[in-house]
């Protein structure tokens, strides 16, 4: 039996999201690219590539991973490309998207003959957290002036807009897309393709998928463009858990339980955004604060309810542990890195990767 901690990806749960992505592609004509910044565990790409068109990236290493391990279309994007990496980026992508006109012009010669695009910032977003808001004041993420963009239309064939963030409200998506059309419609009409980015929670239980598909199709036909989406969380939401074991319990005004994992090392995104982890069913008369084992005082998964007292040796499953988890895991405190396991569609569990002291040592110097 695999020792905790480990991430467990359940392909049957993953498949539910992928089937919705497939249906959306069929209804709308849009293409779907996995956002590797959110999820890059290539041990399940064998399933995902049957339901998606390829990958999109934020760095040279993500570009290479998508090209080598996923296949299909490989879109390259970066906030800024370095001189010593641009050739390798171009060798591993189908499309390259520049964040600024300055970068587009700087690498115009090197990228000649490659399909090129430009990120556009519509200066509106769904984010209510400044850290993740691409339209925040003085944002470096994309160009916003139509006149400046007009001047480089001969160098590009498409645009990337990424201004949704955990947006489960179709009405809000529709409103912002209309705003994009109002501001940039004349430029979009001259393009061949448009990526609308990620952050749209269209695989959620109550999301109006058919209405969303119709809106995408209408946009595509109006401007004569191929629409791309870049789902990250939408592709993998609720498909994985972080399996942990209770090491100790104590009482200090609250019942506390310390587990063999760390939110800072293994679910960093929750700590950054000050969110609680999830446990199900989270019911019962015993309330316990679940704590990580690092030395950080705030290494807390959250407070949950249980039907019986929690004791050392108990196994717990932290829910929804796929997006922005494995891609952010780190070696803080030298805490043991969770292994990665996959529950196949037939129910068998396969260990994909385990990490050792040697991995920790080699990550340093």
What CATH number has the domain bearing residue 350? Answer: 2.40.37.10
Check residue 130 and give its pLDDT.
Answer: 87
Structure-block tokens of residue 302: 């959250």
Check residue 166 and give its pLDDT.
Answer: 86
Residue 161 belongs to domain spanning: 10-233
The residues, ordered by sequence, that sit 6+ positions from 231 with a Cβ below 8 Å of its Cβ are 21, 32, 33, 34, 35, 52, 198, 200, 202, 203
Q: What percent of the chain has pLDDT over 90?
A: 96
**∠ Cα 147 148 153 (to 5°):** 95
pLDDT band at 126 (very low <50, low <70, confident <90, very high): confident
Check whether residue 213 and residue 264 sit in a common domain. no
User: What whole-number distance in Å separates Cα of residue 2 and Cα of residue 349?
Assistant: 10
Check whether residue 265 and residue 223 sit in a common domain. no
Domain final position from 179, 199, 233:
233
Nearest Cα to 309, choosing from 291, 287, 289?
Answer: 287
Check whether residue 157 and residue 46 sit in a common domain. yes
> Over the stretch 279-299, which tens digit does the pLDDT of each residue have?
999 999 999 999 999 999 999
Check whether residue 228 and residue 293 sit in a common domain. no
Check whether residue 121 and residue 184 sit in a common domain. yes
When pLDDT is averaged across residues 106-121 and rounded to a whole number, the result is 98
> Over the stretch 75-101, which tens digit does the pLDDT of each residue have?
999 999 999 999 999 999 999 999 999
Residue 269, annotated as binding a ligand: yes
Alpha-carbon distance values, 166 to 58, 160, 178 (Å): 18, 18, 19
> Over the stretch 1-58, which tens digit does the pLDDT of each residue have?
799 999 999 999 999 999 999 999 999 999 999 999 999 999 999 999 999 999 999 9
Check whether residue 110 and residue 224 sit in a common domain. yes
Domain assignment present for residue 149? The answer is yes
Contact (CB, 8 A) for 54 and 73: yes
Nearest Cα to 34, choosing from 20, 45, 23?
Answer: 45
Domain assignment present for residue 1? The answer is no
- Residue 55: strand, helix, or coil: strand
Residue at token pair 């004569």: 224
pLDDT band at 129 (very low <50, low <70, confident <90, very high): confident
When pLDDT is averaged across residues 320-325 and rounded to a whole number, the result is 96
Q: Which residue has the higher pLDDT, 133 or 246?
A: 246
Residue 150, annotated as binding a ligand: no
Domain count, the chain: 2
- Residue 360: strand, helix, or coil: helix
Domain final position from 233, 262, 290:
233
Check residue 285 and give its pLDDT.
Answer: 97
pLDDT band at 128 (very low <50, low <70, confident <90, very high): confident
Domain assignment present for residue 337? The answer is yes
Domain assignment present for residue 3? The answer is no
In this structure, what CATH number is given to the domain that contains residue 161? 3.20.20.10
> Over the stretch 141-172, which tens digit does the pLDDT of each residue have?
999 999 999 999 999 999 999 999 889 999 99
Check whether residue 199 and residue 274 sit in a common domain. no
Domain assignment present for residue 142? The answer is yes
Check whether residue 179 and residue 224 sit in a common domain. yes
Check whether residue 274 and residue 203 sit in a common domain. no
> Over the stretch 171-199, which tens digit does the pLDDT of each residue have?
999 999 999 999 999 999 999 999 999 99
Average pLDDT taken over every residue of the chain: 97
Check whether residue 218 and residue 334 sit in a common domain. no
Domain assignment present for residue 283? The answer is yes
Check whether residue 197 and residue 346 sit in a common domain. no
CB atoms closer than 10 angstroms to residue 212: 20
Structure-block tokens of residue 140: 């470096």
Domain final position from 187, 202, 233:
233
Structure-block tokens of residue 31: 């293409």
């Amino acid at each position: 039996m695999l020792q905790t901690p480990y991430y467990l990806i359940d392909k049957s749960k993953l498949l539910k999201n992928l089937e919705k992505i497939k249906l959306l592609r069929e209804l709308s004509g849009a293409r779907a690219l996995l956002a590797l910044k959110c999820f890059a565990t290539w041990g399940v790409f064998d399933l995902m590539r049957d339901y998606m068109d390829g990958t999109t990236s934020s760095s040279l290493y993500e570009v290479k991973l998508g090209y080598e391990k996923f296949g299909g279309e490989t879109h390259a994007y970066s906030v800024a490309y370095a001189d010593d990496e641009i050739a390798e980026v171009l060798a591993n992508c189908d499309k390259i998207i520049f964040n600024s006109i300055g970068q587009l012009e700087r690498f115009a010669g090197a990228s000649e003959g490659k399909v090129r695009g430009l990120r556009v910032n519509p200066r509106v977003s769904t984010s209510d957290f400044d850290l993740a808001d691409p339209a925040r004041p003085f944002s470096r993420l994309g160009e916003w002036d139509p006149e400046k963009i007009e001047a480089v239309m001969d160098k590009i064939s498409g645009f990337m807009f990424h201004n949704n963030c955990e947006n489960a409200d179709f009405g809000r998506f529709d409103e912002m897309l209309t705003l994009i059309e109002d501001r940039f419609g004349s430029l979009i009409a001259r393009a061949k393709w448009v990526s609308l980015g990620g952050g749209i929670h269209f695989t959620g239980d109550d999301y109006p998928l058919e209405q969303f598909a119709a809106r995408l199709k209408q946009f595509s036909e109006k401007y004569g463009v191929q629409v791309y989406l870049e789902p990250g969380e939408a592709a993998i939401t609720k498909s994985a858990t972080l399996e942990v074991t209770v090491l100790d319990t104590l009482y200090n005004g609250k019942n506390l339980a310390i587990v063999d994992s760390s939110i800072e090392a293994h679910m960093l995104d929750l700590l950054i955004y000050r969110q609680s982890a999830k446990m199900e069913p989270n019911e019962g008369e015993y309330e316990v604060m679940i704590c990580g084992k690092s030395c950080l005082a705030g290494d807390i998964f959250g407070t949950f309810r249980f039907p019986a007292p929690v004791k050392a040796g108990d196994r717990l499953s932290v829910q929804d542990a796929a997006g922005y988890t494995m891609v952010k895991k780190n070696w803080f405190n030298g805490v043991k890195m969770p292994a990665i396991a996959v529950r196949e569609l037939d129910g068998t569990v396969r260990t994909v990767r385990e990490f050792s002291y040697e991995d920790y040592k080699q990550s340093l110097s």
